[in-house]
DNA sequence: CCAAAAGTGTTTCCGATACACCCATGA
DNA sequence: TCATGGGTGTATCGGAAACACTTTTGG
């Protein structure tokens, strides 16, 4: 059942960049990106970002991104933000395709991943060990990483990337990873605590071969206040 | 000559938001936006953003935006940045249309505007007196205004919006207009001069009924250095 | 000489930075 | 008892903010 139009039309796709923070990575945390293995041509067998064609039934483009993500990786309830639209001629060997990319930050532990219908496999890759990707997806990931580095300055990204309860050193480690630079421990703590964004819990780490760290949580209400009124976290 | 595809495709358009700064506007400057009057349905006779369909021959989406802008308003050599992609169902009465919006800042004086082929008229409107617009173009303009307010904090926008030679009070007025708040004259001057971004000229304003202001220019080279290394202009 | 905008310094305050040692825990 | 990371305070510096009067020009 073909579809016919008076003028040529380009294909419209969405792609999803999901970032997770892997605290357990040996000696310092790592940022990871979720990739799927393509089951169909073009680039069959290659790793790629989850994504696919916009559907007539999708009420919004963002909806299409969430739908494709769920279909290919099983992930749901992910808050996505639009990143950028990629549409250079030649980015898809099938013909002109324009892709709207969305990105999200999620807690790795809360979102187990499984391969879905259109994907042979789904896996988290460290940013530093990403294989050759289909289409211009390496370029998309670079753009997303830059955006993340920018976002960290005016939004508390730990809220989305860390487990509900975390040690301050984990939060600092996350910032150091995203920003690519070491931060002073005492100054970091002073600054982050002064924001009144964190609630000190009663628990501490368990089974660590050193003094156990106190665990904190984000204060949801305070977080929303900060977002609404504008926020600034200069390093 | 119809075009046929195996799966349904959405129409892809581009829209251009051009901002200009009108210094002469009585009592303080005004931000203006370029609009065109639509010659064809839907929304024939309405004011709208310049824009149109992506063409198969456009090598990039940005190229499509520049091409449409030139066709409808005669403006060329405009540096555009991608703003956001708008694709909610229902934003176009003809059917599903996804639009990639681009925005640019230009010097009003350097870019005289004329109506082009597909536009009955082209005119600058103050942000405060924008008429009812076609599609969701009011929403697009709101998004662009917010982006501009954000951009002002890390890029010297005066470079793009002001005439080549300008008085410091013009620059301050621009910042006040974009940010929507008054700034302290002495502090503003100190800060902007300390950046070494401005070159003091020999000339002064002519024919003003008060003390003539010294005129400055941006230092192109210093500007590029700042852009490259990152830039911060907190109010 | 009046109206209107140009131009000019100092003080205060706060946040950013730099910096080193003791503490708790499990092995 | 040792290795490992957790936890803590102070001094200095620099940029941000507040603030008012004199100068120049055309009408």
Q: Where in chain B is the domain with CATH 1.10.10.10?
A: 158-229
Q: Chain B residues within 8 A (CB-CB) of chain A?
A: 2-12, 53-54, 56, 58-61, 82, 84-85, 87-89, 96, 98, 100
Indicate the fold that domain A158-229 takes in CATH: Arc Repressor Mutant, subunit A (1.10.10)
| CATH number assigned to the domain with residue range A11-151, chosen from the 4 options 3.30.70.360, 3.90.226.10, 3.90.79.10, 3.40.430.10 | 3.90.79.10
- Tell me the sheet residues that pair with A37: A47, A121
- Measured from the Cβ of residue A135, the count of other Cβ atoms closer than 10 Å reads 22
The pLDDT assigned to A19 comes to: 98
The pLDDT assigned to A211 comes to: 94
The pLDDT assigned to B116 comes to: 76
The pLDDT assigned to B120 comes to: 80
Q: How far apart are CA A173 and CA A90, in angstroms?
A: 39
Q: How far apart are CA B49 and CA B68, in angstroms?
A: 10
Question: Which whole number is the average pLDDT over B86-91?
Answer: 97
Residue B37 structure tokens: 């009057």
Question: Which whole number is the average pLDDT over B48-76?
Answer: 97
Distance from CA of B56 to the nearest CA of A (A): 7
3-class SS letters over B61-97: HHHHHHHHHHHHHCCCCCCCEEEEEECCCCCCCCCCE
Q: How far apart are CA B98 and CA B216, in angstroms?
A: 43
pLDDT averages per 10-residue partition of chain A, 235 residues = 93 98 80 95 95 97 98 95 98 96 94 78 94 98 96 89 95 94 96 93 88 95 81 70
Q: Where in chain A is the domain with CATH 3.90.79.10?
A: 11-151
Contact A3 B2 (CB under 8 A): no
The reported pTM is 0.94
Task: Determine the nucleotide nearest to B210 by Cα–C1' distance.
Answer: D25
Residue B70 C-alpha from the chain's centroid: 14
Q: Name the nearest CA neighbour of A198 among A214, A186, A216.
A: A216
A interface test, pick of B7, B11, B99, B103 with most A CB neighbours within 10 Å: B7
Q: What is Dmax (Cα atoms) for chain A? A: 71
Of B3, B10, B11, the CB nearest to A4: B3
pLDDT one-digit tens code per residue, B197-207:
999 999 898 88
Question: Which whole number is the average pLDDT over B94-121?
Answer: 89
What is the secondary structure of chain B as a DSSP string?
A: --EEESS---EEEEEEEEEEEETTSSSS-EEEEEEEEE-SSSSTT-EE-SEEE--TT-SSHHHHHHHHHHHHH---S---EEEEEE--TTSSTTS-EEEEEEEEEE-GGG------TTEEEEEEEEGGG---BSTTHHHHHHHHHHHHHHHTTTS-THHHHS-SSEEHHHHHHHHHHHHTS---HHHHHHHHHHTT-EEEEEEE--S-SSPPPEEEEE-HHHHHHHHHH------
- For A22, A189, B174, the CA distances from A109, given in Å and listed in that order, are 9, 25, 48
- For A151, A156, A225, B232, the CA distances from A235, given in Å and listed in that order, are 12, 12, 21, 13
When pLDDT is cut at 50, 70 and 90, the band that residue B26 belongs to is low
On whether the CB atoms of residues A233 and A193 are closer than 8 A, the answer is: no
Q: Chain A residues within 8 A (CB-CB) of chain B?
A: 2-12, 53-54, 56, 58-61, 82, 84-85, 87-89, 96, 98, 100
Q: Flag the least confident range among A88-92, B58-62, B218-222.
A: B218-222
**Å: B170 CA to C7 C1':** 14
pLDDT one-digit tens code per residue, B145-195:
999 999 998 888 999 999 999 999 999 999 999 999 999 999 999 999 999
The pLDDT assigned to A28 comes to: 77
Contact A85 B96 (CB under 8 A): no
Residue B1 has pLDDT above 90, yes or no: no
When pLDDT is cut at 50, 70 and 90, the band that residue B114 belongs to is confident
Strand pairing report for A119-126 and A30-38: antiparallel
Rounded to 10 degrees, the C-alpha dihedral B126/B131/B132/B138 comes to 0
pLDDT one-digit tens code per residue, B138-147:
999 999 999 9
The pLDDT assigned to B110 comes to: 85
Instruction: For residue B149, give every residue at least 6 positions away whose Cβ sits within 8 Å of its Cβ, in sequence order, or none.
Output: B178, B179, B180
Q: For chain B, what percent of residues have pLDDT higher than 90?
A: 80
Contacts of B8 in chain A (CB under 8 A): 3, 56
CB pairs under 8 A between A and B: 85
Contacts of B3 in chain A (CB under 8 A): 4-9
């Amino acid at each position: 059942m073909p579809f016919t139009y008076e003028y040529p039309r380009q294909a419209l796709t969405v792609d999803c960049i999901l970032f997770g923070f892997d605290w357990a990575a040996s000696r310092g945390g790592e940022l990871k990106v979720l990739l799927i293995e393509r089951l169909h041509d073009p680039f069959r067998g290659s790793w790629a970002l989850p994504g696919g064609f916009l559907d007539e039934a999708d009420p919004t483009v963002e909806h299409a991104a969430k739908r494709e993500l769920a279909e290919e990786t099983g992930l749901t309830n992910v808050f996505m933000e639009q990143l950028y639209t990629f549409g250079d001629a030649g980015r898809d060997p099938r013909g002109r395709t324009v892709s709207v990319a969305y990105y999200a930050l999620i807690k790795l532990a809360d979102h187990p991943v499984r391969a879905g219908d259109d994907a042979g496999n789904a896996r988290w890759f460290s940013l530093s060990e990403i294989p050759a990707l289909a289409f211009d997806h390496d370029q998309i990931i670079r753009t997303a990483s830059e955006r993340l580095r920018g976002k960290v300055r005016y939004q508390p990204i730990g809220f989305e990337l860390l487990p509900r309860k975390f040690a301050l050193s984990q939060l600092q480690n996350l910032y150091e990873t995203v920003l690519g630079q070491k931060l002073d421990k005492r100054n970091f703590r002073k600054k982050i605590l002064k924001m009144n964004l964190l609630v000190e819990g009663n628990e501490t780490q368990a089974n660590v071969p050193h003094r156990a760290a106190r665990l904190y949580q984000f204060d949801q209400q305070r977080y929303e206040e900060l977002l609404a009124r504008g926020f600034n976290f200069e390093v």
